[in-house]
Structure 1
Amino acid sequence: MTDTTPMIRLRGVTKRYGEGATAFLALKGVDLDIQRGEFVAIMGPSGSGKSTAMNTLGCLDRPTGGEYLFMGAHVESLSRDERARIRRRYFGFVFQGFNLLARTSAQENVELPLLYRGEPAGRRHAAAAKALESVGLKGWEHHTPAELSGGQQQRVAIARAIVTEPAVLLADEPTGNLDTRRSHEIMELLSRLNSEEGITVLMVTHESEMAAYAHRIVRFVDGQVASDVLNSEPTQPGSFTPAGSMEAG
Structure 2
Amino acid sequence: MSQQPLIELEGITKVFGSGPAAFQALKGVDLTIDHGQFVAIMGPSGSGKSTTMNILGCLDVPTRGKFKFRGVEVQRLNRDQRSLLRRRYLGFVFQGFNLLSRTTALENVELPLLYRGEKKSVRRAAAMHALDQVGLAPWATHTPAELSGGQQQRVAIARALVSDPNVLLADEPTGNLDSERSVEIMELLRKLNSDGITVIMVTHEEEMAAFAKTIVHFRDGLVDRIERGTMSEEPVAGEAV
Calculate the TM-score normalised by the size of structure 1: 0.92
Task: Give structure 2 stretches of 5+ with no counterpart.
Answer: 235-241
For the aligned residue pairs, the C-alpha RMSD in angstroms reads: 1.2
| C-alpha displacement of 1:186 | 0.2
Contact 1:212/1:235 (<8 A) preserved = no
| C-alpha displacement of 1:228 | 1.3
| C-alpha displacement of 1:3 | 4.0
Q: 1:235 to 1:46 in 2, by over 3 A?
A: farther
Match of 2:100 in 1: 101
CA distance in 2, matches of 1:233, 1:68: 29
One-letter amino acid of the structure 1 residue matched with residue 126 of structure 2:
A
Q: Is 1:9 matched with 2:12? A: no
Q: Is 1:221 matched with 2:219? A: yes
Match of 1:135 in 2: 134
For the residue of structure 1 that corresponds to 2:8, the secondary structure is strand
Counting only pairs closer than 5 Å after superposition, residues 1-249 of structure 1 correspond to structure 2 as: 3-196=2-195, 198-231=196-229, 233-234=231-232
User: What does the per-residue CA deviation read over 1:88-147, in whole Å, with 9 as the maximum and x for residues that have no partner?
Assistant: 000000000000001111000000000011110000000000100110101101111111
| C-alpha displacement of 1:233 | 4.3
| C-alpha displacement of 1:232 | 6.2
| C-alpha displacement of 1:231 | 3.2
For the residue of structure 1 that corresponds to 2:176, the secondary structure is coil
User: What does the per-residue CA deviation read over 1:33-80, in whole Å, with 9 as the maximum and x for residues that have no partner?
Assistant: 000000000000011110100000011101110000000100011111
CA distance in 2, matches of 1:92, 1:230: 24
| C-alpha displacement of 1:23 | 0.6
Contact 2:110/2:123 (<8 A) preserved = yes
Match of 1:244 in 2: none
Q: 1:34 to 1:173 in 2, by over 3 A?
A: same
CA distance in 2, matches of 1:232, 1:173: 19
Calculate the TM-score normalised by the size of structure 2: 0.95
CA distance in 1, matches of 2:163, 2:138: 21
Q: How many residues align?
A: 234
Contact 1:15/1:26 (<8 A) preserved = yes
CA distance in 2, matches of 1:93, 1:3: 28
CA distance in 2, matches of 1:149, 1:231: 28
Task: Give structure 1 stretches of 5+ with no counterpart.
Answer: 237-249
For the residue of structure 2 that corresponds to 1:174, the secondary structure is coil
CA distance in 2, matches of 1:235, 1:45: 26
Contact 1:51/1:204 (<8 A) preserved = yes
% identical equivalent positions = 65
For the residue of structure 1 that corresponds to 2:39, the secondary structure is strand
CA distance in 1, matches of 2:124, 2:3: 37
Contact 2:28/2:222 (<8 A) preserved = yes
